[in-house]
Amino acid sequence: MGVASALNTALTGLTAAETTIEVVGNNLANSNTVGFKASEANFATQFLQTRGLGSAPSANSGGTVPRQIGLGTMVADITPDFNQGTIEISANPSDLAIQGDGFFIVQGNSGEELYTRNGIFKLNAQNQLVSITGNRVLGYGVNDQFQIQTGSLVPIEIPLGNEQVAVATSNVYLEGSLFPTGDLATTAEIIQTGILGDASYTYPPDDTNAAAAVPPNVSGSSGSLLAGGLPAGTYNYRVGFANSAHVAGVDDEGVLSEVIGGPFVSTGVERVDLTLLPDPAAEDYSYLRVYRSTDGDPYEYIGELPATGAPLTFSDSGLADGGAYNEDTLEDFSYSYYVTFYNATRESRPSEVIAQIDAGDGGRIRLTDLPTSGEWTGRRIYRNLSTDDSSFHRVATIGDMTTTAFIDTMSDTTLAGEPELNRDGPTITVDTLLTDVRTRSGDSYEQVFEAGTLALTASKGGQDLTTKTMGITSGTRVSDLIDFMQGTMGIHTVPGPDDLHPIPPDAGSGSNPGGSLTTDGRIQFISNNGLGNALSIDSSGMQLTTASGADSVDLPFNSSQTAIGESVSADLVVYDSLGIQLSAEMTVVLESSDSSSTTYRWFANSPEDTRTIDEIDPNTGLITFDSVGNLISSSNNTIQIERGDVASVSPLSFSLDFSQISGLDSNSPFMRLAWQDGSEAGTLTSFIIGEDGTIRGVFSNGVTRDLGQIRLARFANPNGLEQKGQNMFASGVNSGLPLEGNPGEQGIGTIIAGAVELSNTDIGSNLVDLILASTMYRGNTRVITTAQQMLDELLSLRR
């Protein structure tokens, strides 16, 4: 049996040598495979034949050892060598090498986790980082805010050319030099319109007629003495037309006729009858008044007759005097008239002028067809002075809407003391519709606004502000216009964001800054104090676009007070969370100064700010410098821009850094933007991977953001991993569970980007192993040959 067992023993040696050659051959074949780990075949003796167990030492013997014969060898294990391979620089930034322990975690075809040291990675069509065998690299992803999500492992995505990012401005750094010796900003610029009328109130039409009043024609009239009770005396009679029944003290008589007959001399027992008197209806009058002169005295009213359509008769048998005839007459001049409506609270704008009426010989002018209205309670009549044809005064107030005619008898002397005509009529209120706003030039009234789109381009401190628009509809009111203009011009109203340091009022008027209506119907705006805040609107600053086209709005704003106070301004450019570029204008004025400090107030406005004027504007504050020009305090250093019209984070809030502003005197004070930390939207153009496995994306705007986190795994016994081919390993029964972590943590190696780990195959050592294996193989073949020869000799023995 010994020879036969020798054959089997030699056979195990042959098998072991073959295994060594296979392992060495695999090592040499992968000597250029990135991340490959060479293996080594290790052997152990197989079975043993025990022929004696030996004996222990005794008094008579020194002891014997066991007698055992080995029955060959076996492959005990094939152990991978996980020692570090050489690191080689690569031109691909996505290539990675692990320096130290650990494995990249990739996704298998069935979704399972596999492990590899081969760090040649690239991006697939889905912008996912994959191995050269197409396995997705696993790690932590990011949310839409580029924050790493440390939950479950996901395929790493690097969306080059697709992902965009913007950075909202958080800090603005200013530099410059101010003006400690300038004029204090105590006075504001005040601009206002002319008086504006409200066309929603009706006014008299131009139906009124005017003509010189003429005396009644009494050429056919006569008088006679009859029995009666007329006191003794000498009497003369004249008549005059009237529009209405006689009221004592009201001078509305027409021109008196010639003396009728007479004189009539009464002895105390007679009366005078006047016959064939002219009917007033023939001349469109309502009454015929009779006046009597006694013994050469002035004519006195004694009675009247209503119109009948036929000649009239009047009898005087001693009627009492009812008041002297008003002898006042108008100058021999051509007069013009206006008629207005009125009620208890207001008076309408005047009618069109009733022009150039000559008073004639009678010195009186009659107005007929006076206008009426159900919206008003009465009418007023105005006439110019003969000495000033542009000065109109009230000549009459008619407190009803039934009287249709009026006779003007007022002399210039009396008229000059009466109230003057207000040609503007009812002025606008904040509730007046914009389409009812009217301007006046002389007797011409023009509509200012129509339905359409109003564009306003104002100036502040001599610099044009951004044009803004508002829609005008049939319901838009004056208050809406004032709010729109105040917001567009960036007027900061009292008290501001800081009750301890409120925005100061205008010292000139004592009024607070903002838009308002004056008591006489003017739209007025008071700027914030200082030259840098001075407002102006030129003739083309307001453009109205309607269905018929675009045109300038004829609404001039004139300065009624000039601003005082040194100022500097700066234009800021910032970005919101969507990367939208926003502008802000910043103005600094000198607010106060004493022997120890100088205080400036800054104002900031942005045309993109959607804050309404009802909200407190936070964009103002104070900055104070000491006696050597150093900044010592600021009451507010934050600007906020509301972004209500877009989906960006609102408000955009950023801090102002005044540390580079000097309070020292300068021949040319200035302030400007030095730097700000926001940026417009940028596209992901490249990426870098740090030693800790963090993937940082670099965008075209210079911003960097986290895109993901490479995770590595290590094992307590990496030799126990199961090789899956294609440079992959899987957990084995003797590897232990994977311990995941970030590179550089928990004993895990670090990552080198732009490099790969080469195969750790030792070619020289493996060639030696080949020689040893081949020698081993030949030796074992010799054993087989010898055993065969011995068997042959045995078989050749004869019986």
| pLDDT interval class at 799 (50, 70, 90) | low
> Is 1's pLDDT higher than 60?
no
Tell me which DSSP letter residue 51 carries: E
Domains, the chain, ordered by start = 2-75+761-795 (no CATH), 87-164+684-757 (no CATH), 171-185+565-677 (2.60.98.20), 190-198+428-561 (no CATH), 202-425 (no CATH)
> Is 54's pLDDT higher than 90?
no
**Three-class DSSP category at 488:** helix
Cβ-contact 209, 367 below 8 angstroms: yes
As a whole number of angstroms, the distance between CA 706 and CA 140 comes to: 11
The pLDDT value recorded for residue 545 is: 96
Give, rounded to a whole angstrom, the gap between the first and last alpha carbons of the chain: 20
The pLDDT value recorded for residue 522 is: 97
- pLDDT tens for 721-770 read 999 988 899 999 999 999 999 999 989 999 999 999 998 888 888 899 88
Q: What is the mean pLDDT of the chain?
A: 90
> Is 507's pLDDT higher than 90?
yes
The pLDDT value recorded for residue 617 is: 77
> Is 322's pLDDT higher than 90?
no
Q: In what order do the strands lie in the sheet with 264-266?
A: 264-266, 233-242, 287-294, 300-306
> Is 376's pLDDT higher than 90?
yes
Polymer length in residues for the chain: 799
Q: In what order do the strands lie in the sheet with 365-368?
A: 209-212, 365-368, 406-408
The pLDDT value recorded for residue 536 is: 96
The pLDDT value recorded for residue 66 is: 82
Measured in degrees and rounded to the nearest 5, phi and psi for residue 721 equal: -70, 150
Cβ-contact 115, 725 below 8 angstroms: no
Cβ-contact 375, 229 below 8 angstroms: no
SS (H, E, C) 150-176: CCCCEECECCCCCCEEEECCCEEEEEE
Cβ-contact 652, 582 below 8 angstroms: yes
The pLDDT value recorded for residue 676 is: 92
Report which of 250, 248, 314, 316 is spatially closest to residue 280, judged by C-alpha positions.
Answer: 314
The pLDDT value recorded for residue 243 is: 87
Tell me which DSSP letter residue 350 carries: P
> Is 472's pLDDT higher than 60?
yes
As a whole number of angstroms, the distance between CA 449 and CA 470 comes to: 12
Measured in degrees and rounded to the nearest 5, phi and psi for residue 401 equal: -115, 20
Residue of higher predicted confidence among 473 and 362: 473
The pLDDT value recorded for residue 629 is: 86
The pLDDT value recorded for residue 56 is: 81
SS (H, E, C) 116-154: ECCCCEEECCCCEEEECCCCEEEEECECCCCCECCCCCE
Q: Which DSSP string do the residues of 785-797 spell out, in sequence order?
A: HHHHHHHHHHHT-
Exposure b/e, 235-266, CB count within 10 A at least 16 = b: bbbbbbbbbbeeeeeebbbbbbbeebbbebeb
> Token digits for 81?
């060598």
- pLDDT tens for 637-678 read 999 999 888 888 889 999 999 999 988 877 788 999 999 999
From 119-133, 136-150, 608-622, 633-647, the region with the lowest mean pLDDT = 608-622
- pLDDT tens for 100-124 read 999 999 999 999 999 999 999 999 9
What residues does 604 pair with on adjacent strands? 586
**Three-class DSSP category at 765:** helix
> Is 436's pLDDT higher than 90?
yes
Q: How many CA atoms lie within 13 A of 124 on its CB side?
A: 14
- pLDDT tens for 678-698 read 988 889 999 999 999 999 999
The pLDDT value recorded for residue 614 is: 67
Report how far Cα 71 is from the mean position of its chain's Cα atoms.
93
From 182-191, 323-332, 454-463, the region with the lowest mean pLDDT = 323-332
Question: What percentage of the chain's residues is helix, strand, coil (to nearest 5)?
Answer: 10, 40, 45
The pLDDT value recorded for residue 253 is: 80
As a whole number of angstroms, the distance between CA 42 and CA 486 comes to: 91
- pLDDT tens for 547-586 read 999 999 999 999 999 999 989 999 999 999 889 999 999 9
Residue of higher predicted confidence among 614 and 31: 31
The pLDDT of 431-455, averaged and rounded, is 95
Tell me which DSSP letter residue 324 carries: B
Cβ-contact 304, 290 below 8 angstroms: yes
Q: In what order do the strands lie in the sheet with 378-385?
A: 354-358, 334-342, 378-385, 388-398
Q: Residue type for 550, please?
A: A
The CA–CA distances, whole Å, from 269 to 227, 318, 466, 785 equal 6, 10, 96, 197
The pLDDT value recorded for residue 221 is: 93
Instruction: Map tokens 């045109």 to a residue.
Output: 551
Tell me which DSSP letter residue 720 carries: G
